[in-house]
Amino acid sequence: MRKIGIIGLGHVGATVAYTLVSKGLVDELVLIDANDKKVVAEQYDLLDAIARLDTSTTIKVQDYATLKDADLIITAFGNIGIIQEDGDRFGELKFNAKAVEQVAPKIKSSGFDGILINIGNPCDVVTAYLQQLTELPQKHVFGTGTFLDTARMQRAVGMKLGLDPKNIGGYVYGEHGESQFVAWSTVTVNGRPINEMQAGYQIDFETLETDARRGGWFIFSGKGFTNYAIATCVVKLTRAVLSNAHFAAPVSTYSPEFKTYVGQPAVVGANGIESLVFLKLSELEHGQLKSSAGFIKQKIEGLSRN
């Protein structure tokens, strides 16, 4: 039986829940939120949908004890309104750090020993804090990280070249935030290195990188939140865990080199992070990764001191 818990039923958590149910990817779903009225409303809305679906899902709410035998927990708590002025994901740090301090002990006391995927921002710091306080193995706790940012890079490059974004390969590394960077040495277009195509297409790498990095803020400023793309990312990672897909994706996971969580390619399967993927980065790119990891580590250490 495929059993998943979602903690946090805002725009993203609710979209993830609906996607899992509508696609028949979960047999039992546990929904938890600080707002009792909201979580029960989501439960009933999903139950009404199930009456018209070809699959069925048992939906339970507000019970941490039922997470004991869950395969996977998705943490999607946050307060998007805090970052309304500038889109800085660190605006949510204080709020989400308190959420981790409330949620992690309950996850731990439930006896849960599965895989935890974090969406909450700032993603790398919150993911690391969740791992520290739940005391789950590092490979069992990871965040969506730069998986979403990589999709935004693919969209930006695809739009520039008039191609389907799925034909764009490569990765965004580092923080899910302002210090992230596109590792252009890894980016391919229809299998060809993008550097070979720069002259013919007059590609402005700096503009494309800014588009990828600020893509979330562009969406947020238009509708007040983002939900579809990030929900799609976490559902894809969830499927990779449930099916033991050994799927390579850039996620926020622990780096032995930098001693911190940071966005980097990894292989995702039933054990969470099965292995890291080490690509040859340019000297500049490795320096950018080191700098971004250092920034994240500093923020994590700041939490530990408080």
pLDDT of the residue at 132 = 97
Which tens digit of pLDDT belongs to each residue from 197-213?
765 667 889 999 998 88
- In eight-state DSSP terms, residue 7 is E
> Which residues have C-beta within 8 Å of that of residue 174, sequence separation ≥ 6?
146, 180, 181, 262, 263, 288, 289, 292, 293
Which tens digit of pLDDT belongs to each residue from 248-296?
999 999 999 999 999 999 999 999 999 999 999 999 999 999 999 999 9
Pinpoint the alpha helices (H) of the chain.
11-22, 36-50, 93-110, 123-134, 147-161, 198-201, 205-213, 215-223, 228-242, 283-305
**Catalytic positions:** 176
- In angstroms, the CA 131 to CA 208 distance is 33
Architecture in CATH of 3-143 = 3-Layer(aba) Sandwich (3.40)
State whether CATH 3.90.110.10 applies to domain 147-305.
Answer: yes
Report which of 114, 137, 154 is spatially closest to residue 250, judged by C-alpha positions. Answer: 154
Which tens digit of pLDDT belongs to each residue from 142-175?
999 999 999 999 999 999 999 999 999 999 999 9
Question: Taking the mean position of all CA atoms in its chain, how far away is CA 215?
Answer: 15
The domain limits of the chain are: 3-143, 147-305
- In angstroms, the CA 214 to CA 175 distance is 13
